[in-house]
Amino acid sequence: MKKFFAALSVATLAVGLAVVAVASPASAHTPTVTPSCTSLTVKLVSYEATGSATPNKVTVTIDNNQVENANYGTTFPQKSYPFTPSSTAHQWKVVVDAVGTDYDRTWTGTTTPCVVAAAPVFAPAACTGPGTAIAGGYTITATTGAKYQSKIDSSGWSDIGPGNHPVAAGKTIAVKALPVNSTLNGTTSWSYVVPSAGACTVKTAPSTPKVVAASGCNVPGSITLGTEAGVVYTFLTGSAAQTSGAYEVKATPAANYYFTGDQSVTYSGTLGTFATCATPKAASATDQSCTTQGTDGLDPLSPAAGDSGSVKTDSAVTSTVVSGSIEVFAVAGVKYTIHRVDGTVPDVVVASGVTDVTPGDYLVTAVAMPGYGLTGPTSWPMTVKSALLCVQLPDHALVSGSATATAQQCTGGSMQSGTIGVELDPALAYSVGSTKLTSAQTAFAPGTYTVTAAVTDPEFTFDGTPSWTVTVAAASAACGDLLTLAFTGGGAGLTYLSMAALLLMAGGAVVLYSRRVKRAA
């Protein structure tokens, strides 16, 4: 039994040696299973292949999902299986079922999430104003699972926290990200040279000065310069306080500023003349009038409007035309133009005093002299009225008369005598030659007569020429029929008797009228 066991042991050993011998080539089985935060890599080489071309098998499972189930021979080529998303943990499993059981293997694990470090933000030096700048630098954003280190130029690495880190222009910045209980994925190192901000000059532009010209009076001129940043205004002529006259201003850029185009701009002009105030006084007009001289104590007789001509008087009282006029009053800095509206006479320019003018419509206008401006009313329309009729006034009351004639005419078949008529007045006595005319109408044979009037009352003076030449015209043809002619030829005495009776009646009327007038007087 023992021998048997000894023999068995030797046989087993021999077989074992044979297996080892047979298996020695298989001892080169080389599985490679490599997980990362982004993928799982599997590579199997130098496996035994007996009895079949692909006696070995491999399966890959990620998060309970089988992503690989393949048979292979001596080699399973390298293959990667992604973890999606890489920012979270994933469970994975790889199983190899090789020929026999000695090289069967199982790998399992859980990935560490990938961390992508936030890249630093680099910034150049920047101008903050004319001639001034801030440093450049970089900004770190905190990333869970990563930390940062930096160095400037050749200095050593040092930890840095989140935030802004100024660095002078021209310096070289190096930054790297390191994992903290994580696996970093993506870029983890950066470098940046900080650029200079440059000269930091700022563009600006001048503006035309705002000018208010002097005008009138109490309105001084003014000049207001622009207020643009970086513009320097210089008065070459005048000043900011001037109120009149010429000015010239030059604009140039201040330090660290510049203009587009010419770097010097000139503005010039004038504010005009500042005037002293003057207030004209209103002009006044005086109408044309008459002056009367005499001591008889009688009231002058005013002519009616529209009358013209003259009335003869004695020499006791006389009347003279006094010219109309316009008066202006002296005011410093003011002169006046007297303008006749109808343009029939030239304008008159005066500073003060009385100017004689003919009757009519006028416009008086005040004009400012140099250096003055006017306030208040500056023109006045006015009319200089005519005296209408300026006469020598009589020292006695006036009386007037008249004389007319009517023609001989045929009426009712009988010849009617022509007449001379006079304007009866108690202060007058009319006559034709030696014949007194006491009636308003007196019969006269055809012919031409001179009628005269004599003033019988010493308190009156005759107005005009007291004589008239009148003609009593004869009838143009014979008058009446045979009966009338017979009557006329046979009864001439009766006809003349009738005419005499009529004349007596008329004379009685005149006497009665004369008595009434005398009594009234």
Each residue's pLDDT tens digit, 176-198 = 999 998 888 889 999 999 999 99
For the chain, what percent of residues have pLDDT higher than 70?
Answer: 80
CA distance 269 to 427: 89
The Cα-based distances of 308 to 293, 311, 445 in angstroms read: 21, 10, 39
For the stretch 83-104, what's the b/e string if a residue is b when 16 or more beta carbons lie within 10 angstroms of its beta carbon? beebeeebebbbbbbbbeeebe
Distance CA 515, CA 520 (A): 9
Give the per-residue pLDDT at 480: 62
Does 315 score more than 60 pLDDT? no
The Cα–Cα gap between 382 and 326 comes to: 9
How many C-beta atoms surround the C-beta of residue 167 within 10 A? 21
389 band by pLDDT with thresholds 50, 70 and 90: low
HEC letters along 416-458: ECEEEEECCCCCEEEEECCEEECCCEEEECCEEEEEEEEECCC
Residues 226-273 pLDDT 10s? 999 999 999 999 999 998 899 999 999 999 999 999 999 999 999 987
pLDDT at 296: 44
Task: Provide the total of helices (H) and of strands (E) in the chain, helices listed first.
Answer: 3, 47
Q: What is the pLDDT of residue 450?
A: 95
Q: Which residue has the higher pLDDT, 287 or 505?
A: 287
What is the model's pLDDT at position 186? Answer: 87
Q: Output the six-digit token pair for 220.
A: 């001084």
Give the number of other Cβ atoms within 10 Å of residue 422's Cβ: 24
**Residue 13: predicted pLDDT:** 30
**pLDDT of amino acid 388:** 72
Give residue for tokens 């004639």.
405
Higher-pLDDT residue of 53, 284? 284
Two tokens, residue 182? 């994580």
Dump pLDDT digits (tens) for 409-452: 888 778 888 999 999 999 999 999 999 999 999 999 999 999 99
Least confident of 266-275, 279-288, 394-403: 394-403
Parallel, antiparallel or unpaired: strands 379-384 and 334-340: unpaired
Q: Is the pLDDT of residue 218 over 50?
A: yes
Nearest-angstrom CA–CA distance, 302 and 306? 12
State the pLDDT confidence band at 51, using cuts at 50, 70 and 90. confident
391: confidence class by pLDDT, cuts 50, 70, 90 = low
Q: Has residue 507 got a pLDDT over 80? A: no
Question: Helix, strand, or coil here: 496?
Answer: helix
Closest CA to 509 of 411, 424, 408: 424
Q: Which residues of 168-181 are buried (b: 16+ CB within 10 A; e: fewer)?
A: ebebebbbbbebee
| Res 299: pLDDT | 42
pLDDT band at residue 303, thresholds of 50, 70 and 90? Answer: very low
CA distance 181 to 36: 14
* Helical (H) or strand (E) element with 356: strand 353-357
pLDDT band, very low/low/confident/very high, at 292 (cuts 50, 70, 90): low
Q: What is the DSSP string of 211-236?
A: EE---SBS---EEE----TTEEEEEE
Q: What is the pLDDT of residue 267?
A: 97
Supply the mean pLDDT for the chain: 82
Per residue in 111-155, pLDDT (tens digit) is 988 899 999 999 999 999 999 999 999 999 999 989 999 999 999
Task: Give, for 483, the enclosing helix (H) or strand (E).
Answer: helix 482-490
| Residue at 488: amino acid letter | T
3-state secondary structure 29-94: CEEEEEECCCEEEEEEECCCCCCCCCCEEEEEEECCEEEEEEEECCCEEEEEEECCCCCCCCEEEE
Query: Whose CA is closest to 340, among 322, 356, 323?
Result: 356
Is pLDDT of 294 > 60? no
Residue 83 makes CB contacts below 8 A (sequence gap 6+) with 37, 38, 39, 40, 62, 90, 92, 111
Task: Identify the band that residue 293 occupies on the pLDDT scale cut at 50, 70 and 90.
Answer: low
Q: Which two tokens stand for residue 139?
A: 């900004």
How confident is the model at residue 146, as a pLDDT?
93
Residue owning tokens 């010419």 = 262
- Lookup: tokens for 379: 């023109």
Q: Whole-angstrom Cα distance, residue 122 to residue 166?
A: 10
For residue 199, give every residue at least 6 positions away whose Cβ sits within 8 Å of its Cβ, in sequence order, or none.
131, 256
Least trusted range by pLDDT, from 9-23, 27-41, 74-88, 352-366: 9-23
Tell me which residue of 432, 426, 437, 508 sits closest to 459, measured CA to CA. 426
Q: In terms of residues, how long is the chain?
A: 521
How many C-alpha atoms does 479 have within 13 Å on its Cβ side?
A: 16
Structure pTM? 0.39
Q: Which residues contact 87 (CB under 8 A, 6 or more apart)?
A: 113, 114, 115, 116
Residue 177, token pair as written in the block: 């990200």
pLDDT of res. 24: 35
Average pLDDT estimate for 290-302? 52
The answer to whether residue 489 scores a pLDDT higher than 80 is no
More confident residue, 435 or 499: 435
Average pLDDT over residues 55-69: 96
pLDDT over 70 (residue 41): yes
Q: Among 101-115, 206-220, 372-386, which is the least confidently predicted range? A: 206-220
Task: Give residue 53's pLDDT band: very low, low, confident or very high (50, 70, 90).
Answer: confident
